[in-house]
Amino acid sequence: MTEIAAIPAPQNVEEVDVRQSSLEDLTLKVLYLSGELLLDELAGKLRLSFAVVSDLFRSLRRAELCEAKGMVKGVHRITTTMQGRSRALELLAQNQYTGPAPVSLKDYVSRVRAQSVKNFPVRPPLVEKAFEHLVLPNRIVKQLGAAVISGTSIFLHGPTGTGKTSIAEAIPSIYHDLVWIPYAVEVDAQIITVFDPILHKQQENLEDGDGRWVLCRRPRVIVGGELTVEMLDLQFHPVSRFYSAPVQMKANNGALIVDDFGRQRIRPEELLNRWTVPLDRRIDFLTLVGGRKLEIPFDLFVVFATNLDPAQLADEAFLRRIHNKIKLDNLDREQFHEVFERLCTRFELKYERSAVDYLVDLLTTEWKQLLRPCYPLDLVNHVHWTAQYAGESPRLDCETLAEACRSYFLNLTR
């Protein structure tokens, strides 16, 4: 994994590059909710250096909003005054954000551009390793590598069960470096939270760095049928009164996978119209309550995966903006054998070529099925489940495969 340097921690309020009043308001809210804190404990909660928090404390003390209650090993133990508690309640009514200090929009934009997906050196060994668990023609692997190195977008389409989702989910593993993601961004005293512990895989942060940034693997965000138009813009929480970043902002510097495209709660044309400019110009526009628009980078590799006809989902103008389109098909007999052979190695089963030949004939003649890439794993799973229920060791032969087919396929398809 590539070495990454820590972001230098600001040593005074000016270096934080966020208005001092916003920092003081956040400090007062955190202090009020905590009761009493040592200055270094407060610095830990705000993810700011001790020097910056000391400056903020001195400013708040001059305003008679907080006071020192004593010292522990030379460090002030502080709390809010009566006036400070009254002010904190007013601030909490306006905005309940009490997390780590935010970064400025300017710093966020600069950082995203500096660690762009286009800057990652994509090479054949990395691509081949990412897809080594899949049986793919060399032509497809080469197309996938060229698509990833473009840093733009890709359209994976083809019949159901041909591995589109598996390929889409494997694409982010090509990136093996780390990026910085902020806990939050401040714009005009408004807070937008960005770091999401569910979506972002946090690594151990470097010591003595700017704690407002979280060191993570490049994001991998997957959305499916739950995607709505509201998820594509800033989400304002009416009770807490701060914003959550939209999915594409959380995916910046990484990959966003739109699985089963065309089956979302948002109509395809709405999504495509929303992203026409971002895909083309690599910038996005978000709107704050009140109407102010923000321009942020749209720096992510977007993967659209669908088993529907792309021509029926998008017009020519949009498809032109997706420069990489790959159609995935069903397997031939030899590829089907290769998938089964790999699965036997993975599940410690004895590979019987004659049994797989029997299965191919069974699928194509009796069950009238094409050789879909999803079938081998699904049928091997059925073999395992049946053996586990019977308390036996799983075996791959004509009998167990035929029984798996009877459980897996509907009779009406025969």
pLDDT at 232 over 50: yes
CA distances, 313 to each of 16, 81, 272, 284, 307 (Å): 46, 61, 9, 22, 11
Structure tokens of 99?
A: 């997390």
- Burial of 11 per CB tally in 10 Å (0-12, 13-18, 19+): middle
pLDDT at 379 over 60: yes
Q: What is the pLDDT of residues 70-85, one digit of tens each?
A: 999 989 999 999 999 9
Q: Which residue has the tokens 């940034």?
A: 213
**Three-class secondary structure of residue 226 per DSSP:** coil
Rounded-to-integer distance, Cα 168 and Cα 155, Å: 10
Rounded-to-integer distance, Cα 57 and Cα 38, Å: 11
Element (DSSP H or E) covering residue 21: helix 20-34
Mean pLDDT of 40-60: 97
pLDDT of residue 414: 47
Give per-residue burial for 128-151: e unless 16+ CB within 10 Å, then b.
bebbeeebbeeebbebbbebbbeb
Residue 224 · residue 191 · CB < 8 Å: no
Edge-to-edge strands, sheet with 243-244: 103-104, 184-187, 190-193, 243-244, 235-236
pLDDT at 234 over 60: yes
CA angle 111, 116, 122 (to 5 degrees): 145
Give per-residue burial for 293-331: e unless 16+ CB within 10 Å, then b.
ebebbbbbbbbbbbbeebeebbeeebeebbebebebbbb
pLDDT at 34 over 90: yes
Q: What is the pLDDT of residues 264-280, one digit of tens each?
A: 888 888 888 889 889 98
Q: What is the DSSP string of 230-281?
A: GGGS-EE-TTT--EE--HHHHTTTSEEEETTTT-SSS-HHHHHHHHHHHHHH
CA 321 from centroid of its chain's CA atoms: 22
Q: What is the DSSP letter of 413?
A: G
pLDDT of residue 326: 94
Average pLDDT along the chain: 93
- Given pLDDT bands bounded at 50, 70 and 90, which one contains residue 363? very high
Q: Which residue has the tokens 């400025």?
A: 104
Give the phi and the psi of residue 103 in degrees, each rounded to 5. -105, 165
Share of the chain above pLDDT 90, in %: 81
Strand partners of residue 153: 302
At 293, the amino acid letter reads K
pLDDT of residue 320: 83
pLDDT at 1 over 60: no
Close Cβ partners of 78 (under 8 Å, ≥ 6 residues apart): 31, 36, 37, 38, 39, 42, 57, 61, 66, 67, 68, 69
pLDDT at 2 over 70: no
| Segment among 41-45, 134-138, 152-156, 307-311 with least mean pLDDT | 307-311
- Cite the DSSP H helix spans in 96-178: 105-114, 124-130, 138-150, 164-170
pLDDT at 240 over 90: yes
pLDDT at 19 over 60: yes
Question: What domains lie within the chain, and their CATH numbers?
Answer: 13-101 (1.10.10.10), 115-177+218-327 (3.40.50.300), 333-413 (1.10.8)
- Given pLDDT bands bounded at 50, 70 and 90, which one contains residue 3? low
